[in-house]
Amino acid sequence: MIKLHDKYFKKFISQEQIQEAVAKMAMEIAKDVKEEQPIFVGILNGVFMFFADFMKVYNYPCEMTFVKLSSYHGTSSSGEIKELIGLSQDIEGRTVIVLEDIIDTGNTLDELHAIFKAKKVKDFKIGTLFFKPEAYQKQHKIDYIGMEIPNEFIVGYGLDYDELGRNLPEVYQLHTNNMINLILFGKPGAGKGTQANFLKEKYNLVHISTGDVFRYNIKNGTELGVLAKSYIDKGDLVPDEVTINMLQAEVEKNPEANGFIFDGFPRTTAQAEALDNFLTTKDMGISATIALEADDEILIQRLLERGKVSGRADDQDEAKIRNRFDEYNQKTAPLIDFYKKQNKFHSVNGIGTIEEITVRLSSVIDEL
């Protein structure tokens, strides 16, 4: 991920894909015009990188020139008028191929057609490296297309975001926040981990369970594990600072994620505030907090059952379980209001089969 001005962009089209498209265009164009000694006209600024790479693989006699389309606001009702600057050659009677980096709405195409027709060229063709069929609003045929792309804002390989990004050797796409970041909320034993395992597959999200990360560290005897164990074994919460740092590190490990499921985090108001602040610095945010609701007595039975197989000390002793519920009631329950104030709180019935509950959660997520 890279940042240009205020926005984040993620990798979209690799150098190999670009070079393949450029080579394909060069072949197609050569097939049609190689005998004609055409004039290639590059539309600056965006075309410079494509134009150079194109010329390296177009191995036939040709001329080349560059123009700019400058817009100025006329007084006519049509508003914006475009003017071609920099075309000094006499192109009458020549085969002209205009090369563009990208065509989206096609607005400048009208101008180009009008301008070149007036110059009495023999043949006029247009080639573009990138084409956005969903955005295109014109009838003109585009003679050569390197690759069709979805209607996304792209930068790199000559294309800019407010003048930055042109020198990137590959194409990046605006990282819009259609990222889904979920908090699975609920008391111990509510089924957060179980459901997260299904939801992460269904929505292609990265699952971060702070409890699992702690247990992994305990198992491996890390410093963090040793520290956390003393709290976890009693059913107390691990101190905020430790937990927050750990969570941030887990998020940082997944820069390409489509989104995250936070399971067991946040558990305190300080953690929730830290999470909001941290996500803001990454141009991310929480999409929804979804609570799985179930009765304490049912949860205690579930946890005791789980304790028989998991071996978790904190699942095997009813007093420890009750302590975890106390911790939840005192420190975690206030987050319901925290997320309600942000209009992000949802709750679903956590009693039923695993599939039924996944369906309930999915219907909340699909509405987001």
224 SS3 class: helix
- Asked if residue 352 belongs to a known ligand binding site, the reply is yes
Q: Is 360 noted as a catalytic residue in this protein?
A: no
Q: Is 312 noted as a catalytic residue in this protein?
A: yes
- For ligand AMP, the binding residues (CB under 6 A) are 188, 210-211, 214, 231-232, 235-238, 243, 264-267, 271, 314, 324
Biggest CA-to-CA distance, the chain: 92
Q: Name all contacts of 351-354 with Cβ < 8 Å and 24+ positions apart.
A: 351/293, 351/294, 351/295, 351/298, 354/191, 354/194, 354/195, 354/198
**Active-site residue, selected from the candidate residues 125, 267, 302, 360:** 267
- Asked if residue 264 belongs to a known ligand binding site, the reply is yes
- Asked if residue 146 belongs to a known ligand binding site, the reply is no
Q: Which is nearer to ligand AMP, 28 or 236 (CB)?
A: 236
Torsion of CA 161, 164, 170, 172, to 10 degrees: -40
CB of 16 to ligand AMP, least distance (A): 42
Q: Which is nearer to ligand AMP, 95 or 195 (CB)?
A: 195
How would you list the strands of the sheet with 288-293, edge to edge? 206-209, 259-263, 180-185, 288-293, 345-349
CB of 195 to ligand AMP, least distance (A): 13
**Active-site residue, selected from the candidate residues 187, 320, 324, 360:** 324
Q: Which is nearer to ligand AMP, 113 or 234 (CB)?
A: 234
C-alpha atoms less than 13 angstroms from C-alpha of 287 in its C-beta half-sphere = 18
- Asked if residue 236 belongs to a known ligand binding site, the reply is yes
- Asked if residue 238 belongs to a known ligand binding site, the reply is yes
CB of 247 to ligand AMP, least distance (A): 7
State how far the Cα of 94 lies from the Cα of 364, in Å rounded to an integer.
Answer: 61
- Asked if residue 265 belongs to a known ligand binding site, the reply is yes
CB of 242 to ligand AMP, least distance (A): 8
Q: Which is nearer to ligand AMP, 100 or 250 (CB)?
A: 250
**Active-site residue, selected from the candidate residues 7, 312, 331, 344:** 312
State how far the Cα of 307 lies from the Cα of 36, in Å rounded to an integer.
Answer: 80
CB of 109 to ligand AMP, least distance (A): 55
Residues in the chain: 368
And the tokens for 39?
């004039």
Q: Is 322 noted as a catalytic residue in this protein?
A: no
- Asked if residue 324 belongs to a known ligand binding site, the reply is yes
Are 235 and 314 in contact by the 8 Å Cβ rule? The answer is yes
State how far the Cα of 366 lies from the Cα of 110, in Å rounded to an integer.
Answer: 41
Q: Is 306 noted as a catalytic residue in this protein?
A: yes
Are 94 and 71 in contact by the 8 Å Cβ rule? The answer is no
**Active-site residue, selected from the candidate residues 192, 302, 320, 360:** 192
Q: Which amino acids are annotated as binding site for ATP, given as ranges? A: 189-194, 306, 352
- Catalytic positions: 192, 267, 306, 312, 324
Q: Which amino acids are annotated as binding site for AMP, given as ranges? A: 210, 215, 236-238, 264-267, 271, 312, 324
Q: Which amino acids are annotated as binding site, given as ranges? A: 189-194, 210, 215, 236-238, 264-267, 271, 306, 312, 324, 352
